[in-house]
Structure 1
């Protein structure tokens, strides 16, 4: 059985609230129990002290306990008789004040003062004389272990009185009050539990609503819907989670778009030289073209383009996984740049493009890979050769300071539109997408150049050239060498 997170959170909140409510009920009940018994004990102690004073005063007046024994046998009251004008106490109705069975049919008090006090005093007691013989009792006899309190008159013990413990102090009315309090406590706990359940449902749904949106969006994202987004509101961890999800979705959407573009570009770039090769071979088979030196040179040119494309893709794939090898050694950068210029000088001259090379007098020493740096300058010169109009100019300068080496490659017209400059180092990017591979290349050279520069700890930037075309500035860290 699948249990939802909402139900689990509901149970967690409800359990905590119910546990707190039950604990509160038990605590309140326990506090009431002990507080109520303490109250009865304190009241009983006060009543006992008053009762002892009344009995000691009555004993001092009569000199013995015969007045109590006579009273319990129906004799005259131990105060000598009723007040003038009142009938004898035995003749009064049982429920009349001062009657023998006052206070619910119990045996009446022994003195007028005692009678007044008996209206609030409830504990069962037993009166003993000095020889521990029972003189009188009221209510159920106290248990044998009940404490006997001495009654003293003029410093002598004249009797004892035993009172029941706290558990026997609770009469029927008090028991009903106690039961009502217990019932009310658990009713409150029950209503509190229902309130906790309602609040738990609201809290569980409120807290989990953003999570449910993220879960739903995650399922859609896993299904290929990379345009999925979730609202990121608030300032808590859920808002951070939603923002991270949106960034992840945007990254996946861009990655998916790049993958599709990459497949399309690869298909296009591979199709062009293969189509040329197929056409050339079919023309030779049909006898349209002769397999002479010019035809073979054309085929070799297409194979070379195809091979270069595959090599560039392979090296970029190695760069993506960090496996593109670099063997760095201390070297002077100027001879490497100059050698690359010598390689392209003839090809540039064929398009009547003038190549200028300027350098500092100081050595431009750095820690680098000679092969990768040669590849870097060849790619930059290849890009200048392809995109510079005939009769133009290409200028390369190498300058340095104490910390950096700067290689500035500039060409003449045509320029690159300013909005497109940041994208020159993207893979398969062309300023003019309609150009064929023969005139514009595959758009991988500058992407590889950027990776080579970054692996050497440098930067590469594209901007407008004062010559009217493109300017690419490469900055590399200089290797400081000290000679004694």
Structure 2
């Protein structure tokens, strides 16, 4: 489990790399600090600190009477005691000189003009060769008169293994936090995927609406996938329930008719006619259901949308006039070419027109308009009916959905007409929508224009 964990791999990898770098640096520093030397003399690379350079210049050029005030000022400001020693180890100002200062001064030679002397558990001592006009060659020895290092820091400075251990612990903690930060969102995604696989389709990951890094984008994609999956599964469940309901009614009537034909042979002809009608209804329902689910129609034909709508409107108007209704085509261009397959568009607009004629009241008119909208043709079908409740507009294109919850076939068919229309329009690369207007329901279809005739 640990070997296959991305979190463990990141953590161990970062930890080993950081530890290796720190350990290498410490071992190299330890090597240079342990160069041979009886008093551990080290010529530090680079120039001395700025205040030391300034101090050396003043020690070489100030008159002797100004030296005491200078040394006292440096003592207060930088906590440094400065001794000016001659070749015999005597201080120019006649002060008592610590033995360590004499030892540092003794290391000065023509080839060694700066000495850095380390002491066990004490501050280091630094000696510089200077030249004064009144005293000749001198040794300026600087010692710290206050130990700024904490006892723990002194211990770390003296114990190599303790410094390495501290570096390993600190780097391990930092790598742990970094790895945790990088993998915790992946863990949330993994847990959400498991919840979704277990059937909890409402599982979502809390993530910002936009922006963020790749992990945030992955979480948003997961939420979109889960939402679409939930919608499709719910639609399939609803479709199965509706199909079962629609099939149950004609099958029940067929069963009753068969029983009556067996009990009353003299009425068998009438019951056979009833069974034949119910069989036709079942065949019609299954055909519409297959049309609503079909998705494999190749778009390899061209059709004039205006001519198609003109014929459909004429047929619909002929049927509508029997109920004192009218259907007319208005504001159409001379030609509107679109790519299609077979009679998909004929079925689509026939279903839309029949639905509009069904709900528009007597004495009213269903109006169809065609116009060009950019790279699309827009077809509007406007009826004068009562419209649809706003909260149900988004569902009227679902299979078997009817605003009439009583499910009476005489008022709404099977509820597959608009579902077939939506699927056909989507196969053409267009879209369909419905909205309520002041005069009724407006159904708008957008289809990509095809101006190139093969």
Tell me if TM exceeds 0.5: yes
CA distance in 1, matches of 2:107, 2:403: 109
Pairing 1:452–2:424 present: yes
Q: Deviations over 1:196-222 (max 9, x none)?
A: 234434444444333323322222221
CA distance in 1, matches of 2:446, 2:235: 28
Aligned to 2:234: 257
Q: Deviations over 1:37-64 (max 9, x none)?
A: 9985989xxxxxxxxxxxxxxxxxxxxx
Aligned to 2:364: 393
Deviation at 1:266, TM superposition (A): 1.9
Structure 1 residues 345 and 303: alpha-carbon distance in aligned structure 2, compared to 1, 3 A threshold? farther
CA distance in 1, matches of 2:190, 2:373: 55
Please tell me whether the aligned partners of residues 14 and 200 of structure 1 are also in contact (alpha carbons under 8 angstroms).
Answer: yes
Please tell me whether the aligned partners of residues 314 and 327 of structure 2 are also in contact (alpha carbons under 8 angstroms).
Answer: no
Structure 1 residues 481 and 402: alpha-carbon distance in aligned structure 2, compared to 1, 3 A threshold? farther
Aligned to 1:161: none
SS in 2 for 1:416: coil
Deviation at 1:428, TM superposition (A): 2.5
CA distance in 2, matches of 1:338, 1:307: 30
CA distance in 1, matches of 2:311, 2:105: 125
Please tell me whether the aligned partners of residues 409 and 471 of structure 1 are also in contact (alpha carbons under 8 angstroms).
Answer: yes
Aligned to 2:415: 443
Please tell me whether the aligned partners of residues 398 and 405 of structure 1 are also in contact (alpha carbons under 8 angstroms).
Answer: no
Pairing 1:287–2:257 present: no
TM-score by length of 1: 0.60
Pairing 1:32–2:33 present: yes
Pairing 1:184–2:185 present: no
TM-score by length of 2: 0.63
CA distance in 2, matches of 1:6, 1:400: 59
Q: Deviations over 1:120-155 (max 9, x none)?
A: 4799xxxxxxxxxxxxxxxxxxxxxxxxxxxxxxxx
Aligned to 1:8: 9
Pairing 1:210–2:182 present: no
Deviation at 1:23, TM superposition (A): 1.0
Structure 1 residues 40 and 452: alpha-carbon distance in aligned structure 2, compared to 1, 3 A threshold? same
Flag structure 1 segments of 5+ consecutive residues without an equivalent.
Answer: 44-115, 124-179
Q: Deviations over 1:159-184 (max 9, x none)?
A: xxxxxxxxxxxxxxxxxxxxx99963
CA distance in 1, matches of 2:449, 2:42: 96
Aligned to 2:290: 314
- The correspondence for 1:331, drawn from 282, 295, 304, is 304
Please tell me whether the aligned partners of residues 353 and 394 of structure 1 are also in contact (alpha carbons under 8 angstroms).
Answer: no
Pairing 1:378–2:353 present: no
Aligned to 2:216: 239
Deviation at 1:402, TM superposition (A): 9.2
Flag structure 2 segments of 5+ consecutive residues without an equivalent.
Answer: 45-101, 110-154
Aligned to 1:156: none
Deviation at 1:440, TM superposition (A): 1.4
Structure 1 residues 5 and 35: alpha-carbon distance in aligned structure 2, compared to 1, 3 A threshold? farther
Deviation at 1:476, TM superposition (A): 4.3
